[in-house]
Amino acid sequence: MTSPNQTPTHQPTGSAALLSGSSRGSDFARLSRRITEAGLLERRPGYYTIRLSLVTGLFAMGWCAFFWLGNTWWQMAVAAFLAVMFGQTALIMHDLAHRQVFRRRRASEISGQLFGNLGVGMSYGWWMNKHTRHHANPNHEELDPDVSPYIFVWSTEQARRSDGLLRKIGGHQAYLLFPLLTLEAFNLHVASLRALRSPSMRNRNRLLESALLLLHNGAFLSALFLVLSPDKAFAFLAVNQCLFGVYLGCTFAPNHKGMPTITGEQQLDFLRRQVLTSRNVRGGWFTDIMLGGLNHQIEHHLFPSMPTVHLRRAQVIVRDYCAEIGVPYHETGLVQSYREALTHMHSVGKPLRRQHKT
Q: Are 252 and 130 in contact (CB under 8 A)?
A: no
The three-state secondary structure class of 32 is: helix
Q: What is the pLDDT of residue 162?
A: 84
Question: Judging by beta carbons within 10 Å of its beta carbon (0-12, 13-18, 19+), is residue 121 exposed, middle or buried?
Answer: buried
**pTM for the model:** 0.89
Q: What is the pLDDT of residues 111-161, one digit of tens each?
A: 999 999 999 999 999 999 999 999 999 999 999 999 987 888 888 888 888
Q: Which of 59, 103, 53 is nearest to 81 (CA)?
A: 59
Q: DSSP secondary-structure letter at 140? A: B
Confidence of residue 201 (pLDDT cuts 50, 70, 90): low
Q: What is the pLDDT of residues 291-320, one digit of tens each?
A: 999 999 999 999 999 999 999 999 999 999
Q: Buried (b) or exposed (e) across 87-120, using 16+ Cβ within 10 A? A: bbbbbbbbbbbbbbbbeeeeebbebbbbbbbbbb
pLDDT of 107 higher than 90: yes
Q: What is the pLDDT of residue 291?
A: 96
**Overall average pLDDT of the 221-242 stretch:** 98
Distance CA 5, CA 3 (A): 6
Confidence of residue 202 (pLDDT cuts 50, 70, 90): low
Q: What is the pLDDT of residue 281?
A: 97
CA distances to 28, 120, 177, 189, 245 from 184, rounded to whole Å, are 35, 13, 10, 9, 5
pLDDT of 24 higher than 90: no
pLDDT of 20 higher than 60: no
Phi-psi region of 111 (alpha: psi -120 to 50; beta: other; left: phi over 0): alpha
pLDDT of 273 higher than 80: yes
Distance CA 56, CA 191 (A): 25
User: What are residue 171's DSSP bridge partners?
Assistant: none
Q: Which of 260, 281, 277 is nearest to 338 (CA)?
A: 281
Please name the helix (run of DSSP H) or strand (run of DSSP E) that holds residue 234, with its range, or none. Answer: helix 230-256
95, amino acid identity: D
- Residue 334, number of CB atoms within 10 A of its CB: 16
The three-state secondary structure class of 143 is: coil
Question: Residue length, the chain?
Answer: 358
CA distances to 37, 134, 345 from 5, rounded to whole Å, are 41, 23, 11
Q: CA dihedral defined by 170, 345, 327, 308, rounded to 10 degrees?
A: -100
Q: What is the pLDDT of residue 150?
A: 80
Confidence of residue 96 (pLDDT cuts 50, 70, 90): very high
Confidence of residue 14 (pLDDT cuts 50, 70, 90): very low
Which stretches within 105-229 are classed as H helix? Answer: 105-113, 124-136, 156-161, 164-169, 173-181, 184-195, 203-227
